[in-house]
Amino acid sequence: MIRVLRNIVFLVLVLLFSVATPLGKGAAALVVSRDEHDDALGAIKRGEIMSYSQIKRSVESRLGGRVVDLKLRRTNQGWQYFLRVSRKDGRVVAAVVDAKTARILSTR
């Protein structure tokens, strides 16, 4: 329960710092380990990675759907967003997106 609350708080902070649209229905939850919270927020503020709102707009337009789940993780290749997108045809697509460039690295 504490982990869920921590993730919700982090999502709100990311949205505030990223000039995001107001939280609406279907908002996805960011899951980042506790040690990475400050690093992720700092990277967004410094412009080293794109904000959730920027990634969401980009991916939704390219994959033709709505982001329903989101995780931000630091990997050995840098920060990456792991997304699930519900497409208009009813399929759910999993996508890995480079957080710096918004380039879709893989889908399945």
Q: What was the pLDDT predicted at 24?
A: 42
pLDDT, tens digit, 9 for 90 and up, residues 14-66: 555 544 444 344 444 455 555 677 888 899 999 999 999 999 999 999 999 99
Report whether 9 contacts 1 (CB < 8 A).
Answer: no
Sign of the alpha-carbon dihedral angle for 88, 93, 99, 105: negative
Q: What was the pLDDT predicted at 6?
A: 63
Q: What was the pLDDT predicted at 25?
A: 42
What is the domain range of residue 46? 2-107
Token couple for 1 = 């329960």
- Total number of domains constituting the chain: 1
